[in-house]
Structure 1
Amino acid sequence: MVELSNSTGEAGLSLGTEVRVAASIIFGATCLIGVPGNSIVIWVILSKMKRRPSTVLLILNLAIADLVLLLTLPLWIYSINNGWVFGTFSCKVVAYLIYCNLYGSVFFITLMSVDRFMAVIYPIASQRWRTERSVCKVVPVVWALACLFAVPVSQLMVVQTIDGQRTCKDYKTGSKALQITSLVMETFIGFVIPLTVLAVCYAHVVRRVSQMTFKSKNRTEMLIASIVIAFVICWLPYHVCNVFKFASLLVDPRSDAFSKLGNVSEVASYITGAIAFFSSAINPLLYAFAVKSLRDGFRPPVMVKVFEQMAQSTKDEYPMERFNNTKVESIQDL
């Protein structure tokens, strides 16, 4: 878990300063890119689109989760460099809010992949439930689960004084059982299980698309696949860091191994946490890159067209392709 702190720990003052500066720069760039980008996505979908099919609704909720998450970054930047001065209650609330939206972001990316899987593999049958009404029933359930899984983090967060600075910190606080439970939930529910679902879905999608007669309309698959790839690249280092934290909880606190594992995880959590946050800023850029010009990609009419094409491809392209393939196979049988 990322820590809201400016402590140098046992890694030394020089290294701590360098890490804090690097993390602050990454956080600042992420905020400057992600807040306007996700705000534009939300505004375009809510104000410029009359119809909001399943794919677009999932993109909307993903953008909301990412935006709320990124709006907390100024607190992270301040606390990294000046310590946590906002009290214990705020520490718990901010951490809970962050993890609610982290889980929400991961869950909606996973649902987008499942949505594409159903559209490609079962195009006709899936149209019965891949509707705005059905997705509106699923979305509250996803948010409820995200809020539920974020509870252990709020229980762990406390304000501690480390190296003379107050720190909003969750690691090595509370019972060891609660720490292990929180880490296991975060890694498996927030990464391993979603990654497994993503891999299975896209293995089938890639195989199906490779069999299509017309392969020029795969932009939607490429766009969502790029979102998935960005998710893996941004979050993998963070969860590798969690493995070190988990290992440190299993060894004797008086041993050298405990000290070394703790030092590695303390330092690495700054940078890997900052990179993980960047995944919430990169999605609007990927939508913009879906068109030829990055500048044009952020124009509302162009973005509306991208979202409409994503929704329309599942409705028209795959059923027609399945119909054409079935027709060809029937002729060959004759």
Structure 2
Amino acid sequence: MAGDHDYYYEDHGLFNTSDGGSSSSGQEHERFLHFCGIFLPCMYVAVFVCGLVGNSLVLVIYAFYQKLRNLTDVLLMNLPLADLVFACTLPFWAYASIHGWVFGKTACKVLLGIYTSNFYTSMLILVCITVDRFVAVVQATKAYNEKAKRMSRAKAICLSAWAVSLLVSLPQIIHGDVRELDRPVCSPHNEEIPTVVLAIQMTVGFFLPLPVMVVCYSVIIKNLLHARGFHKHKSLKIIFLVVALFLVTQTPFNVVKIIRSRSWEYHSRTSFQYAVVVTEAIAYLRVCLNPVLYAFVGLKFQKNFWKLMKDTGCLPYLGVSRQQNFSENTSKTGSTSHHAEATSMFQL
């Protein structure tokens, strides 16, 4: 997904108003330009604000209230960090969608690199979280006994995810440039990027996370159905929400990308440009919803959230009440076996 907003910036793209002399096509194209001029800035700003608030809350709680005791905690701290950095590039694209790119060539390359690499980092961390949960459920006893060893690998796993993401995003950085169409546009020259590189990027961003999630969560569901001593129904709902979030937000845009890569004639159709813009907006929703599914569903995290609300003076009475309830719930669940703890999707 990252860096692909340049689809509608190229020869038949967002700022090219020539349309082969057809007045009806020209009017349609003008309507598309008007739509983008309103929709894109609103979408970028909305995702930025929601992503900034949600992911910042997660980072603050992990940094000051929640100890990093296992691999999942380390991964859940890196996920909002990647999403937050990604979201912080969106105001620049919002401004550029209205006024054109005014930040220069160097900023173009840097922001394309940040924008792209953090998208892939987020996806790789999602894969790691899925695999970690799979190991905790399927090999619960072994995972518990090797808890210290798995924790020592956490930093190496996260550093590897960031390094691979930076490597995968290098083509966008290298080929990123400011081009003069009707106004300055920052985008990579996709026609100069080899097809095999684009295929690798789509694999990391979609075709790797999807089967890993489906296979691992299928096995987890099987184990949950045979487990006892915890709220399996809530766990199953969370699993379905995680998979559904990924499918609903990422599938449409990747389908559009595949169509574009195989049938270039679609690229000149205004209707296809609408599909690019709208499906990309849907893909961005992941940045806003990840904190909810991967952090706020945890009882331990919720308890620390209400501590934060109390300490900052926000909803003090409600915060105390909630905190007491979560303390009771945590103490009750703390007496269960480590297998039940590992299997429960919301005891993170």
TM-score by length of 2: 0.76
Question: Residues 296 and 319 from structure 1, CA distance in 2 versus in 1: closer, same or farther, beyond 3 angstroms?
Answer: closer
Post-superposition shift, 1:300?
Answer: 4.4
Partner SS, residue 208 of structure 2: helix
Alignment correspondent of 1:278: 285
Cα RMSD for the two superposed structures = 3.2
Higher RCO (C-alpha 8 Å, min separation 6): 1
Matched, 1:7 2:7: no
Residue type at the aligned position of 1:117:
F
The one-letter code matched in structure 2 to 1:247 is: R
| 1:128 Cα offset (Å) | 4.2
Question: How many residue pairs were aligned?
Answer: 302
| In structure 2, distance between residues paired with 1:172 and 1:49 | 43
1:156 deviates by 2.7
Q: Counterpart in 1 of 2:90?
A: 73
Q: Give the aligned partner of residue 204 of structure 1.
A: 219
Unaligned runs of 5+ in 2: 20-27, 309-321, 344-348
Q: Secondary structure at the match of 2:129?
A: helix
Aligned equivalent of 1:261? 267
Q: Distance in 2 between matches of 1:228 and 1:321?
A: 19
What is the deviation of 1:21?
Answer: 1.5
Alpha-carbon distance in 2 for matches of 1:147, 1:291 = 30
Flag the 1:320–1:137 CA change in 2: closer, same or farther, 3 A. closer
Distance 1:240 1:279 in 2: 17
Shift, 1:222, TM fit: 4.2
1:248-294 Cα shifts (integer Å, max 9, x gaps): 45xxxxxxxx2x334355443322222222211112233676389xx
Say which SS state the counterpart of residue 205 (structure 1) adopts.
helix
- Of residues 199, 203, 228, the one that matches 1:188 is 203
Which whole-Å CA distance do the structure 2 matches of 1:98 and 1:224 have between them? 28
Identity fraction in percent = 24
Matched residue, 1:331: none
Residue 255 of structure 2, aligned match among 236, 240, 243:
240
Rate the CA distance shift 1:70–1:224 in 2: closer, same or farther, 3 A.
farther
Q: Distance in 1 between matches of 2:84 and 2:307?
A: 18
> Shift of residue 180 of structure 1?
1.9
**Equivalent-residue separation in structure 2 for 1:12 and 1:128 (angstroms):** 62
Aligned partners of 2:342, 2:167: CA distance in 1, in Å? 41
| Residue aligning to 1:254 | none
Residue 59 (structure 1) aligned to one of 47, 66, 76: 76
Q: 1:299 is matched by which residue type in structure 2?
A: W
Secondary structure at the aligned position of 1:299 is classed as helix
Pairs within 5 Å for 1:1-334: 1-3=4-6, 7=15, 12-130=29-147, 131-162=150-181, 164-170=182-188, 172-174=190-192, 178-217=193-232, 219=234, 222-223=237-238, 225-248=240-263, 258=265, 260-263=266-269, 265-286=272-293, 290=297, 299-300=306-307, 316-318=337-339
Report if the CA contact (8 A) 2:121-2:161 is conserved. Answer: yes
Contact 1:248-1:262 at 8 Å conserved across structures: no
- Deviation (angstroms), 1:317: 4.6
The answer on whether the counterparts of 1:157 and 1:173 sit within 8 Å (CA) in structure 2 is: no
- Which sections of structure 1, spanning at least 5 residues, go unmatched? 250-257, 323-334
* Distance apart, 1:132 and its partner CA: 2.4
After superposing on structure 2, the runs of 4+ consecutive aligned residues of structure 1 that deviate more than 6 Å are none
Aligned counterpart, 1:328? none
Deviation of the 1:83 alpha carbon: 0.7
Distance 1:22 1:86 in 2: 22
Cα displacement (A) at 1:172: 4.5
